[in-house]
Structure 1
Amino acid sequence: MARRAPLPPLPESAVLRSRLERARAAAEGTGLLIAPGSDLRYFLGAPGGSFERLTTLVIPADGPVALVVPKLEAPGFADLPLDELNVDVVTWVDGVDPYAFAAERLQGAERVAVSDFTPALHVLALREALPKAEQVLAGPIVRELRMRKDAAEIDALRKAGAAIDRVHARVGEWLRAGRTEAEVGADIADAIVAEGHTLADFVIVASGPNGASPHHALSDRVIETGDVVVVDIGGPVAEGYNSDSTRTYAVGSPRDADVLATYAVLQEAQQAAVDAVRPGVSAESIDAAAREVITAAGFGEFFIHRTGHGIGLDVHEEPYIVGGNTLPLEAGMAFSIEPGIYQPGRWGARIEDIVVVTEDGGESMNQQPHDLVVL
């Protein structure tokens, strides 16, 4: 059975080679095992996920990098520039122990770092194959590379941001009283693809009291006149980089008298956080910039999540914009700024943009207005 789609646009070989070299340097003597998923896509340009048969990129402290892959899956990697990257391809067939091939490349390693989302069946088998090596997560190593986006990655984020902006600009075509959240969500999902994404990764249409649940699933609730509706949507473009943008809508005049004043507080908080972005400030200071405005207005208890998350090949990745994260921001870091106010049983609102740190501030990937959109 074919499991791999045609490859999307690949980064240049020189970029991939640099990433492999930087990973080895960052590992400081720790062997790396990179599973299929966003990490493998970052290093080789290969999309796709893990299966029950082991595929892993082995980056030893010394010696050649190797891709251990089932022989029946190997044709799916044929278009990758593995020769240019000096990556050995080690194939195996059913009935052979693939973990021994990976272990052979890491003989003598005292520490082995495994991709964070490697399936447990592979993690445990690799531990058995390398019993003398301490097994740790690769995330702390890999995130040091992935957090700082290069120019091509930022261009892909701009492309994704513009594509999701076009969808938000069309929400008025589908969001109206008498339709269910699920019906509106289906139309939005189609538009996400039509406007330039490869798929609709997530669609939240949270109307009325459902808007007080930040990760509300689409439901059969019928949207009513006067509802406030939170629309949070996103997905990847061909290069693999993701959009994620939230705007809040009202179907006719909001029924609750406090909506406009409360929303103005949220708008001020989101803008304060965006304005605070610049190199050298901490991730938690961006969270504080939004939270202070909301708390001062008396809504602190209704802001129930972090202000943002990193974004790139994954929708959620480092750096996280949250209290306690003292990481200094650097140019190239990309993350959401998405404060919200959620009043249980009544309504909720959120405004979300993706922002990239520049040399002297921040650049938003989203250009849709932040005002409450009254339809």
Structure 2
Amino acid sequence: MTTELYPRERLGLVRDAAAKAGLGAVLLTPGPDLRYVTGYDAKQLERLTCLVVPAGGEAFLVVPRLEIPAAEASPAGSLGVELVPWDETDDPYALVARRLPGGLVKNGGGTVGVADRMWAVMALRFRAAMPAAEQVAAGGVLRELRMRKSPAEVAALREAGAAIDRVHRQVPGILKAGRTEREVARDIADAITAEGHAQVDFVIVGAGPNGANPHAEPSDRVIRPGEPVVVDIGGTMPSGYCSDSTRNYCVGEPPAEYRAYFEVLEEAQRASCAAVRPGVTPEAVDAAARDIIAAAGHGEHFFHRTGHGIGLESHEDPYIVAGNLEPLEPGMAFSIEPGIYPGPHGARIEDIVVCTEDGYEPMNVTEHGLVVID
């Protein structure tokens, strides 16, 4: 699966995309773009690791000598890309500049795309090494490639979705009145890794009024009987691909007004998912949920976008929000997560979906309804 997730031809696709964008080269330091192109999940260190993709030449990977074994052991080691080691007394920025076409670094200059996640100190060092070259963010070059998932990437997202679904099925046995949000979150985090994730990215356990804060941090607040609880969890799988899913729970019978708006939320989330198909805009998918919530009198209580893209990052393009008129295409993966947050409590339902040739495929299949825990 590793070869399918990180195929050799991606280097050529990035080179072609850089040339089409008018860039002389793309420089990718550790982060999701580097991993997407090479499969190398390099450590972000003060020592420079950088994949250099010239628009008119062969790519090479500059690596601190002590990190060469890790690079060789990663999928990058089987791509045929040249590994260029540097020693502690070398200047790796000058090394990169020397190997680039002369027009990029001397009089006349050119344009170089640098990774969106490159540390500022590294971007400044590259600027000093290539003073004649203009620097721009490389994200636009990678965006068009990363936004459309391959079948292997969809399979990785499906695996991630199944893993986080298994965690949600354990929540009723973890979430008890009298426990704190932090205690519940700790046990959920343990379950996330036990179910196959390489790391925990976030655990939101929002009880009662904390459920009205979409990004609430777990606190020492004790969960009380009859309080709705929002549980939003996600992690990164060994493949590098992410999970993200939100479900709602209550220890005992919830308030009547909560049940009333939760039914509205269920309808809105279903409508938003049903709107997903090629050619539909993210704005329309957002409106499908938002219009239902507004018609029920809760428009002011839904104050975030309906969704975000997901892949090697838990938040990436495309964003499901008003104003995004870029039509959906098969392979685009994103969340559908409308919420209603009136204040005394709140609720959000979230699935990851992938746009298919004629609709969508959900990556999460656990029940969407409120789970009442006796």
Task: Report the TM-score when normalising by structure 2.
Answer: 0.94
* Distance 1:221-1:152 versus aligned 2 partners, 3 A rule: same
Unaligned runs of 5+ in 2: 105-109
1:75 has 2:69 as partner: yes
Q: Cα distance, 1:81 vs. partner?
A: 5.4
Letter in 1 for 2:81: V
Structure 2 CA distance for aligned equivalents of residues 51 and 326 of structure 1: 38
Match of residue 356, structure 1, among 342, 354, 357:
354
SS where residue 25 of structure 1 aligns? helix
Counterpart position of 1:318: 317
Structure 2 CA distance for aligned equivalents of residues 72 and 125 of structure 1: 21
Deviations 1:81-133 (A, max 9, x none): 55753412111111221101112233323111111111111011111111111
Structure 1 CA distance for aligned equivalents of residues 75 and 224 of structure 2: 54
Does 29-38 or 152-161 show the bigger shift?
29-38
Deviations 1:122-157 (A, max 9, x none): 011111111111110011110110011111111111
Counterpart position of 2:122: 122
Counterpart position of 1:99: 93
Counterpart position of 2:11: 20
Deviations 1:282-322 (A, max 9, x none): 11111111111111111111111111110011111111111
* Distance 1:266-1:81 versus aligned 2 partners, 3 A rule: closer
Q: Cα distance, 1:71 vs. partner?
A: 0.9
Structure 2 CA distance for aligned equivalents of residues 278 and 233 of structure 1: 26
Structure 2 CA distance for aligned equivalents of residues 289 and 216 of structure 1: 26
Structure 2 CA distance for aligned equivalents of residues 66 and 202 of structure 1: 35
Match of residue 45, structure 2, among 48, 51, 67:
51
Structure 2 CA distance for aligned equivalents of residues 369 and 82 of structure 1: 40
Structure 2 CA distance for aligned equivalents of residues 12 and 150 of structure 1: 9
Counterpart position of 1:143: 143
Structure 2 CA distance for aligned equivalents of residues 265 and 68 of structure 1: 54
Question: Is contact 2:4-2:152 (8 Å) kept?
Answer: no
Counterpart position of 2:107: none
Counterpart position of 1:293: 292
1:33 has 2:33 as partner: no
Question: Is contact 1:208-1:227 (8 Å) kept?
Answer: yes
Q: Cα distance, 1:12 vs. partner?
A: 4.1
Structure 1 CA distance for aligned equivalents of residues 4 and 183 of structure 2: 41
Counterpart position of 1:329: 328
Q: Cα distance, 1:10 vs. partner?
A: 2.6
1:214 has 2:208 as partner: no
Question: Is contact 1:58-1:105 (8 Å) kept?
Answer: no
SS where residue 258 of structure 1 aligns? helix
Structure 2 CA distance for aligned equivalents of residues 211 and 81 of structure 1: 41
Structure 2 CA distance for aligned equivalents of residues 272 and 310 of structure 1: 18
Structure 1 CA distance for aligned equivalents of residues 2 and 351 of structure 2: 26
Structure 2 CA distance for aligned equivalents of residues 11 and 229 of structure 1: 41
SS where residue 51 of structure 2 aligns? strand
Aligned length: 364
Counterpart position of 2:342: 343
Letter in 2 for 1:257: A
Deviations 1:235-269 (A, max 9, x none): 11221111100001111111x32111100111111
Structure 1 CA distance for aligned equivalents of residues 351 and 295 of structure 2: 23
Structure 1 CA distance for aligned equivalents of residues 353 and 13 of structure 2: 25
Question: Is contact 1:181-1:220 (8 Å) kept?
Answer: yes
Structure 1 CA distance for aligned equivalents of residues 260 and 270 of structure 2: 16
Structure 1 CA distance for aligned equivalents of residues 71 and 257 of structure 2: 56
Q: Cα distance, 1:204 vs. partner?
A: 0.5
**Identity rate, percent:** 59
Structure 2 CA distance for aligned equivalents of residues 54 and 48 of structure 1: 10
